[in-house]
Amino acid sequence: MPRNFLISYSGRVGSTALIDTLKLIPGFLIPVFEELDYYSIEQAGQLDQHNASNIHMYVEHIYRNSSKPDRSVGFKWRMWGDLEGIAGALVEHKVVVLNLVRADLFEYVSSIYLSDIVNKDFNAPQFLLRDATSEEEREKILFKYRMTKHDVDVEKFFRLLDQQLGIERTRFAQLNHLRSLGCDIVTVFYEDFSYKRFGFLNNLVRFLGHPPLDFVPVIKLAKVSAAFPSELFYNREDLLRARELMSSLNDWEQDLIRFPTIS
């Protein structure tokens, strides 16, 4: 029987692309609010500051009214609200939480460095490409993110790395709390979705109780960054040799094994 799901994520991990892909697969329903985000719900008139603490009731409402035996219902969530209340709704409706994460910490931070510090697009390059109105504009965006090289401010890079580690570890702690409350948590990797898409999607849909795919859904949202963003750094080798990086990478490997993965 198909299972419901909820995608837990941080920025730059392909959450929008994954949701847009699942929308195109028979047997999957993504509600009108694909992202369980305070501001998107507030703007739609469904939530305000006075009842934000009741978000778990909204989650329960979605699954109670949308679930059917032949489909999976799901959306994305930046992990805010009453965890205990949300956990109750997830357990009641047999929702599995997908921990969407990037395994390659160095390239993850390199991607954010390029978008936020160098180009100051703040997590939006893929949307810039999607909304480009001419081929010339598209080529300009792709050249900026795939070909233009930069010197990295090492101090800023490691501040950013520490910041992202803090964000992810806070999220992992919240996921661990959900697990202690009876929720199922499994990790899925950005790299598998980005570079082994057909195999990744087949594993995911079968894990969620659906038959294997015979096609690869094509979405409008295209990947903008280079496969290895750090290759655009003139001083990449200096970063790789840094003791701070090695320590962080070792710690990150331990963080990644907190939850089981889909095999």
pLDDT tens digits for the chain (263 residues)? 899 999 999 888 999 899 999 999 999 999 855 455 555 445 444 444 444 556 788 788 889 888 899 999 998 888 877 899 999 999 999 999 999 999 999 999 999 999 889 988 765 777 788 888 899 998 988 888 888 999 999 999 999 999 999 999 999 999 999 999 999 999 999 999 999 999 999 999 999 999 999 998 988 777 777 779 999 999 999 999 998 899 999 999 999 999 999 86
Q: Which DSSP symbol is given to 54?
A: G
**CA–CA separation, 158 vs 250, rounded Å?**
15
Q: What fold is seen in the domain 4-256?
A: Rossmann fold (3.40.50)
What residue ranges do the domains of the chain occupy? 4-256
Q: CA 177, CA 102: separation in Å to the nearest integer?
A: 21
Q: Which pair of structure tokens corresponds to residue 125?
A: 């390059």
pLDDT at 36: 53
- Please state, as a whole number, how many other Cβ atoms lie within 10 Å of the Cβ of residue 122: 11
Residues in Cβ contact with 105 at an 8 Å cutoff, skipping those fewer than 6 apart: 161, 164, 165, 248, 249, 252
**Closest of 201, 198, 174 to residue 185, by C-alpha:** 174
By the 8 A CB rule, do 150 and 118 touch? yes
